[in-house]
A and B are shown apart, each in its own frame.
Chain A
Amino acid sequence: MASKINLRSILRIEGATVFFALALLVVFSSIFAPSFLTTENLSNVLVQSVFVVILGIGITYVLISGGIDLSVGSVMGVAAAICVFCLNAGAPLPFALLAGLATGAAAGLFNAYFIVVLGFADFIATLGTLSLMRGVVELMTANSRLNSQDPGFMTLAAGSVGGAPLAVIIALIVALVAGVILARTTMGRAVYGVGLNPKSSFLAGVLVRRVRFSVFLVSGICAGLAGILLASRLSSVHPAMGTGYELTAIAAAALGGASLAGGRGSVLGTALGALFLAVLQNTLSLMSVNAFWFQIITGVIIVFAVLLDGGIRRFLNQRSMV
């Protein structure tokens, strides 16, 4: 009996499913891909996952509130382009970084304005922004690639603090702050409330419009940060930068237990989901599996993860009713 209760309480922890999936995958990778467990490779995987982790955290806020944000990949590109553009124009590094973050925030506000104030469906508004922002990146990089060899800027992705890559530390801090806000503050709980039932949240005194506005702002800022980090890693911005990242980030959130219907999800789950995708990709390439398989396997795994999550929830509900 006691072991059953333990299993239940463990499964109840947010992100437990994806954690076990990740653990299984890591065991599998260590056995079948011999060079997986080297320090160099592991730190490489972590840095590789940082962009999707940060994007995914923003997306998680939006998904929990019952919305969707398709624009994050393009916003990443724009924020990176603005940041590198400022650097090349001779602006000091902090200013350039702020400009990049502000670009992300502005894109988030743009989405929020259309969705909350003008009442657009979020799918369409952010689809419009996706196209619009991609166009801006293409315009900004039309004549030449935006390159930056600024040593300070390169440090963001390449530097390390006490052996840990700086980018990973940044992602950890973002995840901690975002996770604590979501799980422990009134504002965070309001996001869940809005996603579960906007009407009763409104009746309970939640400023629903303000919450919906803020989640898109958070998503924009996260996209801006992820874009800056990616530009730092690539030391350049190309026209297609960030394309497709929106779907990977949504997949990471879905793996981590976020529901597209709103009301469910967690920062920890999404971060583990993003890590899972990064480890999967890394393992496949270490095992020199044709890179084309990655898409197929990811697709199948996403469906399985959602199924497993649904099954576990049914199991938990059944038990708690008895």
Chain B
Amino acid sequence: MRTREVPTPSDTGFGATETFRRLIGRPGAGIFLFLVCFLPILSLFAPQMLQEGNLAGILNQMVFILIPTLGMTIVIISGGIDLSVGSVIGLSGGVAAFLLTVGVPMPVAILLAIISGAMIGAINGLVITRLKVPDFVATLAMMGVARGILYVWTNGIPFRDYMGDAYYIIGGLRMIVGKLTLPVFVALALLLILTFLLRRTHLGAHFRATGSNAEAAKLSGIRPDRIKMLAYIASGALAAVTGVMLAGRLTTVHPAMGSGYELETIAAAVMGGAALSGGRGSFWGALVGALTLTVIQNAINILNIESTWENVIIGSIILFAVLIDRAAMALSRGGSRRNASN
């Protein structure tokens, strides 16, 4: 388990090497270094890669993976997995679009869509904690159910004609500050709030404790079931936020909207250093993971690589990223054995 490292007196003042070791042991640090080296090398082949417009474009696109990845990270830290994310994105986007077409005011429509996502998360949590169905099976079933509901509801016909002026801004189709769009700021706000909660409140410790060892967490007064419920509700709500914005970005909600997001978000979370065994993970790591995936997709576009290569490249990078993360961890452990007991 990784807890926040509290420097003991003997640890301080070790100079650059020790600081480097500690930094590189952080979740996602390895892949971050990879990204930092990878971008300039790519820009040698595609100079437009590092231009302001493209970098802003990467950010604008990245947040649609980042926001559900934040939810996935919470779930993974608390020792679970959520395969229903993609279906929740589609269903909540559908709820928002439907309510708008029948004339519900936008704030209400968006709120109800997010609540619907949170409720799906709550159902996941209840099935997992109360009925003791394994996370994987429960959320796999929910993935099918939520997607099925969207198909049955729409009869396979996409929602259209719900876009108002404000929705163009919410969907990130209009830039609001410089070349950045609203979703970027939503993601930034969520990232800061969640980081604060995870690092500075008891809640973060409770998530990690539940994920590392639910039994021990229980004995120390934490209610693991409640924490798990909270994690799935958060994941559902964050997926719904993504769904609402994606509905704006795509201007139609196809019933297949969001499928595949579950695997992409898991990949991003893990590239950011989250461990599927629970207890370990960070939101900044999630940011690095989402950024890496988006940069790769962007590079494939810019370098005019045939899109058929995309899956091969992304698959290789996922495997490669985990290798790098392991190497970084090993490096950080190498000279600081005495920290191991912390």
Return the chain A residue nearest B131 by Cβ: A307
Q: Main SS of chain A's interface residues? A: helix
Q: Chain B 104-137 against A: per-residue CB contact (8 Å), 1 yes, 0 no? A: 0000000000000000000000010001111011
Q: Which residues of A contact B140 (CB under 8 A)?
A: 247, 250-251, 299, 302
Q: Which of A104-161 contact B (CB under 8 A)?
A: 114, 118-121, 123-125, 127-136, 138-139, 142
Interface residue? A261 (CB, 8 A): yes
Known interface pairs A295-B148, A307-B133; A135-B313 also in contact (CB < 8 Å): yes
Known interface pairs A132-B311, A251-B140; A142-B306 also in contact (CB < 8 Å): yes
Known interface pairs A119-B326, A259-B134; A298-B312 also in contact (CB < 8 Å): no
Cα(A292)–Cα(B153), bound, Å: 9
A134 adjacent to B311 (CB under 8 Å): yes
A127 adjacent to B134 (CB under 8 Å): no
Give the number of residues in B that approach A within 8 Å (Cβ atoms).
44
Q: Which residues of B contact A250 (CB under 8 A)?
A: 136, 140
Cα(A99)–Cα(B308), bound, Å: 23
Instruction: Find B142's partner among A247, A290, A299 (CB 8 Å cutoff).
Output: A299
Q: Which residues of B contact A138 (CB under 8 A)?
A: 308, 311
Q: Chain B 272-288 against A: per-residue CB contact (8 Å), 1 yes, 0 no? A: 00011100000000000
Interface residue? A234 (CB, 8 A): no
Q: How far is the CB of B156 from chain A (nearest CB, A)?
A: 7
B141, B275, B310: residue with the most chain A Cβ atoms closer than 10 Å: B141
Q: How far is the CB of B320 from chain A (nearest CB, A)?
A: 9
A128 adjacent to B318 (CB under 8 Å): yes
Identify 23 residue pairs between A and B in the complex whose beta-carbon atoms are under 8 Å apart, listed by A's number: A120-B319, A120-B322, A121-B275, A121-B322, A124-B266, A125-B319, A128-B316, A128-B322, A131-B315, A132-B312, A132-B315, A139-B308, A142-B306, A247-B140, A290-B152, A290-B155, A292-B156, A296-B144, A296-B149, A297-B148, A300-B145, A303-B133, A303-B141
User: Which B residues form the contact surface with A (CB < 8 A)?
Assistant: 81, 127, 131-134, 136-138, 140-145, 147-149, 151-152, 155-156, 263, 266-267, 270, 275-277, 306, 308-316, 318-319, 322-323, 326
Other contacts beyond A124-B270, A131-B315: 13, CB < 8 A: A123-B266, A124-B276, A131-B312, A135-B314, A135-B315, A138-B311, A139-B309, A260-B134, A290-B155, A292-B155, A295-B144, A296-B148, A298-B144
User: Which A residues form the contact surface with B (CB < 8 A)?
Assistant: 68, 114, 118-121, 123-125, 127-136, 138-139, 142, 247, 250-251, 254, 259-261, 290, 292-300, 302-303, 306-307, 310
